[in-house]
Amino acid sequence: MNSMTSITPLRYSVLLLVASLTGCASITPRTAGIQPGKARETLQAGNERFLAGGMHAHSWHQERVIQTGAFGQSPSVGVLTCADSRTPPEIIFDEGIGDLFVVRTAGNHEDAGGTGTFEYGVAALGVHTILVLGHTKCGAVDATIEGNPLPGSMPTFTDAIRPALAGLASPIELTAASEANVRYQMKRLLEQSEILRTANRDGKLTMLGGMYDVSTGRVRFLD
């Protein structure tokens, strides 16, 4: 991770040359691509492009590589999502290099490392929104519902998810449990971090929750 970095005139000239050779229009310090208050709208539009097969992020990846390599990153939105290979947020939302500050854990659960990562994003990089994104058919949530002993360090994620299921009617339905887990992990992020809590209280950080359907590719944002 790095913040904005300075470049020498010589290096800047080289970057301009590279840009011209690779077809990039311009090389300028990058501002946040997703504006405050527009995260849900922008991500929803990206998901619609993904669903329609009209994704365009690939068309400017090379330019973004050059920009972020020269000037540093300034991501707009943090995403806490599952490690499930079917849930890559940059693809789901048609976003590209430098846009999303992503933490992925089994069952999209809050932990100290992830929370610290988002604190850095908010305090140093310009992250103004955090989305907790769960998904259907989540194995981590299903394992928590089943309650069977797991080997190694895997109980770490079932222990983190279990409190989210308290109060759900039995038998617990998997999608409902995954949604409850999203809401719980949103709450946990604010509870565990004074930095995030203060930013949220002061209107500098928006918290969003969503569910991704692995069978359709559609994201449903939670109220």
Looking at residue 28, its pLDDT comes to 41
Contact between 211 and 134 (Cβ < 8 Å): yes
pLDDT exceeds 80 at position 134: yes
Looking at residue 96, its pLDDT comes to 86
- Work out whether strand 206-212 and strand 77-82 pair parallel, antiparallel, or are unpaired: unpaired
Looking at residue 164, its pLDDT comes to 98
Least confident of 68-72, 85-89, 150-154, 216-220: 68-72
Mean pLDDT throughout 155-171?
97
69-124, pLDDT tens digit by residue? 888 888 999 999 999 999 999 999 999 889 999 999 999 999 999 999 999 999 99
Sequence-separated (6 or more) residues with CB below 8 Å from residue 68: 30, 97, 98
Looking at residue 59, its pLDDT comes to 65
Name the percent of the chain lying above pLDDT 90: 74
C-alpha to C-alpha distance for 33 and 86, rounded to whole angstroms: 25
User: What's the mean pLDDT when you consider all of the chain?
Assistant: 88
The distance between the two most distant Cα atoms of the chain, rounded to a whole number of Å, is 66
Other C-beta atoms lying within 10 Å of the C-beta of residue 223? 3
> What domains sit in the chain, N to C, each tagged with a CATH number?
9-221 (3.40.1050.10)
Looking at residue 18, its pLDDT comes to 47
Looking at residue 24, its pLDDT comes to 43
Looking at residue 12, its pLDDT comes to 41
11-60, pLDDT tens digit by residue? 444 544 544 444 444 434 444 479 999 999 999 999 999 999 988 877 66
Sequence-separated (6 or more) residues with CB below 8 Å from residue 87: 81, 104, 133, 135, 212, 214
What confidence tier does 9 reach under pLDDT thresholds 50, 70, 90?
A: very low
Mean pLDDT throughout 196-211?
98
Looking at residue 170, its pLDDT comes to 95
C-alpha to C-alpha distance for 54 and 22, rounded to whole angstroms: 23
Is pTM beyond 0.95 here? no
